[in-house]
Amino acid sequence: MSDESAAAFVPGHVTGFFSAHPAERAAAAGSRGAGLTLTDGVEVRVDPNGSGTTLNGEPAAIEAVETVLAELGVDGGTGDGADGDPGGEVGVAATTDLPVGAGFGVSGAAALGTALAANEAFDCGRSENELVRIAHVAEVAAGTGLGDVVAQARGGVPIRLEPGAPGYGELDGVPASARIEYVTFGELSTAEVLAGDTTALTEAGERALTALRRTPILPALMAASRTFAREAGLLVPEVAEAIEAVEEAGGEAAMAMLGRTVFALGTGLSDAGYDPAVCHTHAAGARLVDDEK
Amino acid sequence: MSDESAAAFVPGHVTGFFSAHPAERAAAAGSRGAGLTLTDGVEVRVDPNGSGTTLNGEPAAIEAVETVLAELGVDGGTGDGADGDPGGEVGVAATTDLPVGAGFGVSGAAALGTALAANEAFDCGRSENELVRIAHVAEVAAGTGLGDVVAQARGGVPIRLEPGAPGYGELDGVPASARIEYVTFGELSTAEVLAGDTTALTEAGERALTALRRTPILPALMAASRTFAREAGLLVPEVAEAIEAVEEAGGEAAMAMLGRTVFALGTGLSDAGYDPAVCHTHAAGARLVDDEK
């Protein structure tokens, strides 16, 4: 290993609509749907000489991050000497301005950022597809997300045509770039929603995907997302109110799946009198951060 | 149509090694191989009220660009009134600092940039995969390239696992980011090389791909590319000399396919006493340029 730390940046991702597609193999499981990747994201630094995982400086247990480290064989292990296990520690420091648990894909970003940065810091020699697969599988196994990782790896405005990691899934994109505003009213448990009956949700998600594929432009994505949130029964009152206020002010807004979060194009939320966070769609997708630059 | 102009940026792309894979359908044709996308690239502005195609301000005939406009149905046509043809003109202005015809994928970038910008300016409503396919097919039909377009759409350090446009091809990537230097000694005709016997070239390209997939890191890409250039019989004397000089100075360099061009990691060419252009691997791939920002 290089013994030097390495860092990766992974964009946030808000899903506008989705359908859930479980599968025997976690790499083949995932979701169809569409959303936006955001310039607000998660930076993950992996330090071979560090110790433990932190989120914004506080010790944190992120299951998908631990799984990624184990899969890459750099988790230090128990130090019992088995298969050359040195029993060392690894430091993973994730920092983000995004709200956690509010539908921005922070856990997926932490997993993918860990995969990219650990591969670099420990000279694991994996390809990008392999790292995305490892992070996707870890996220699916943890039950914290189904489609964020592949979207975050791609960047832009990803359309998930087929579920799963590279080799299984298939992506397209809406060719667009936009200022994005968002407000968050609190958390919504992804695991809880996904553990329930997802039949109606998945039917609504498939209809939304068909509509977007017919017209792959941003306003169509927002409209399909609003219809999905209503049909899937996921709208919460404060989110519904904000979406309506944005529409009355002439803008386009939708609910982030899954969080009590509203995102809007351009100045949609500001125009409606909210005090939103402001970012932009992210062109690049997840990438290593250049320490030399 | 929106009647407003739109612009796209497409990174340059140097191919280190490749194998050629013709096919009945142009969308399925292409190349396997690997290379680097570059922050030096081509900006393309499409103006619905403009007239004709220019490259760096000079009138230029770029066959792939014309094909893309025709495929999108925005080429103005002959004005004979057939199928509602208004006979209007379209302005396509491509600007780049990259040398033309020297292995940087300028024609592919012009085609892809035209597709993205024209889709935006004329509200064509195509998805990103569709636009990449249109540009790839136009480039293959023009005989000016086989793999630049799909690599430029992706960004980073693309590995072309399977040839062809989205839906046919398959991509992976080397998870790396680096400063890149390059010098160019002149043009090499892509069309001429591809029109000749490509059997030895393709065998060398397949061997290089196998080697890189085993170890997907930048130095392995450079080494595989050097071996390929030698085995495919494409090395020209001034390029061979520069690559050797970089290696003697402790660096990593290779030849851009297809041009009299050498590219090196980090400060490879400077260290060897050359006066190179300097850029960086490009994280994002082709994208619309935000006029509002």
The per-residue pLDDT for range A92-141, each reduced to its tens digit, is: 999 999 999 889 999 999 999 999 999 999 999 999 999 999 999 999 99
pLDDT over 90 (residue B233): no
Identify which of B162, B182, B158, B160 has the alpha carbon closest to the alpha carbon of residue B283.
B158
Decide if pLDDT at B1 tops 80.
no
- Helices B63-71 and B106-121 cross at an angle (nearest 10°) of 30
Q: Does the pLDDT at position A176 exceed 60?
A: yes
Q: pLDDT at position A169, please?
A: 96
Residues of chain B with C-beta less than 8 angstroms from the C-beta of A125 = 215-217
Backbone angles phi, psi at A271, to 5 degrees: -60, -30
Query: What tens digit of pLDDT does each residue of B86-130 get?
Result: 445 899 999 999 999 889 999 999 999 999 999 999 999 999 999
Q: Which of B287, B289, B292 is the best substitution to test chain A (most A C-beta atoms within 10 A)?
A: B287
Q: Answer yes or no: is pLDDT of A78 > 80.
A: no
* Alpha carbons B19 and B228: distance in angstroms, whole number: 10
Predicted local confidence at residue A81, as pLDDT: 42
Tell me whether residues B173 and A290 touch, CB distance under 8 A.
Answer: no
CA distance A268 to A282: 18
Residue of A107 and A290 predicted with greater confidence:
A107
Contacts of A159 in chain B (CB under 8 A): 127
Arithmetic mean of pLDDT over chain A: 92
Amino acid type, B243 = I
* Confidence category of residue A143, pLDDT binned at 50, 70, 90: confident
Is the confidence at residue B201, as pLDDT, over 80? yes
Instruction: Specify the amino acid at residue B4.
Output: E
- What is residue B117's predicted lDDT score, i.e. its pLDDT? 98
Which residues in A lie closer than 8 A to residue B7 (C-beta atoms)? none
Alpha carbons B103 and B259: distance in angstroms, whole number: 4
pLDDT of residue A283: 92
Q: In the predicted model, is pLDDT for residue A86 greater than 50?
A: no
| Res A106: pLDDT | 96
d(CA B124, CA B122): 5
Instruction: Please give the average per-residue pLDDT across A46-73, as a whole number.
Output: 95
Instruction: Check whether B25 has a pLDDT greater than 80.
Output: yes
Spatial distance between the Cα atoms of B36 and B218, rounded to a whole number of angstroms: 10
pLDDT at A193 over 80: no
Has residue A2 got a pLDDT over 60?
A: no
The pLDDT assigned to A261 comes to: 96
H helices present in chain A, as ranges: 63-71, 106-121, 128-142, 148-154, 190-195, 199-214, 218-231, 237-248, 268-271
Q: Nearest Cβ partner of A127 from B120, B172, B290? A: B172
| CA B216 – CA B204 distance, rounded (Å) | 18
Chain A residue with Cα closest to B123: A217
**How many beta-carbon contacts under 8 Å exist across A and B?**
82
Supply the pLDDT for residue B73.
95
pLDDT at B74 over 50: yes
Q: Which residue of B has its CA nearest to A220?
A: B125
Please answer whether residues B3 and B122 qualify as being in contact, where contact means their C-beta atoms are separated by less than 8 angstroms: no
Q: Write the CA distances from A94 to A23, A107, A121, A228, integer angstroms.
A: 30, 10, 15, 32
Contacts of A213 in chain B (CB under 8 A): 127
CB A262 within 8 A of CB A103: no
Residue A2 DSSP one-character state: -
How many percent of chain B have pLDDT more than 90? 82
> What average pLDDT does the structure give for chain B?
92
Average pLDDT for B201-214:
96
Interface of B with A (CB under 8 A): 116, 119-120, 123, 125-129, 131, 155-156, 159, 166, 172-177, 179, 213, 215-217, 280, 283-285, 287-288, 290, 292-293
Predicted local distance difference test score (pLDDT) of residue A258: 84
* Yes or no, beta carbons of A120 and B172 under 8 Å apart: no
**Is B126 close to A175, i.e. CB distance below 8 A?**
yes
**Percent of chain A beyond pLDDT 90?**
82
Using the beta-carbon criterion (under 8 Å), do A175 and B292 form an inter-chain contact? Answer: no
- pLDDT band, very low/low/confident/very high, at A290 (cuts 50, 70, 90): confident
CB contact under 8 A, A127 and B216: yes
Record the pTM. 0.93
**Which of B159, B216, B287 is opposite residue A125, by nearest beta carbon?**
B216
In this prediction, residue A80 carries a pLDDT of: 46
pLDDT for the residue B79: 45
Amino acid A84 reads: G
Chain A residue with the nearest C-alpha to that of B118: A175
- Spell A139-173 as b/e; 16+ CB within 10 A means b: bbebbbbbbbbbbbbbbbbbbbbebbbbebbbbbb
- Residue of B293 and B95 predicted with greater confidence: B95
- pLDDT band per the 50, 70, 90 thresholds, residue A187: confident
Flag if B288 and A125 touch (Cβ within 8 Å): no
Q: Measured between beta carbons, which residues in chain B are less than 8 angstroms from residue A175?
A: 116, 119-120, 126-128, 131, 288
Quote the distance between the C-alpha of residue A154 and its chain's center: 11
Residues A283 and B153: their CA atoms lie apart, in Å, by 11
Confidence check: pLDDT of B196 > 80: no
Which residue of chain B is at minimal alpha-carbon distance from A289?
B177
Q: How confident is the model at residue A85 (pLDDT cuts 50, 70, 90)?
A: very low
Complex-level ipTM: 0.92
Does position B77 have pLDDT exceeding 60, yes or no?
no
Q: What's residue B2's pLDDT?
A: 56
Q: Is B120 close to A175, i.e. CB distance below 8 A?
A: yes
Per-residue pLDDT band at B144 (split at 50, 70, 90): confident
Candidate from B127, B177, B217 with C-beta closest to A172: B127
The tokens 């250049």 sit on which residue? A290
Q: Which of A116, A177, A284 lies nearest to residue B288, judging by beta carbons?
A: A177
Q: How much is the average pLDDT of B237-243?
A: 96
- Residue in B159, B166, B283 closest to A284 by CB: B283
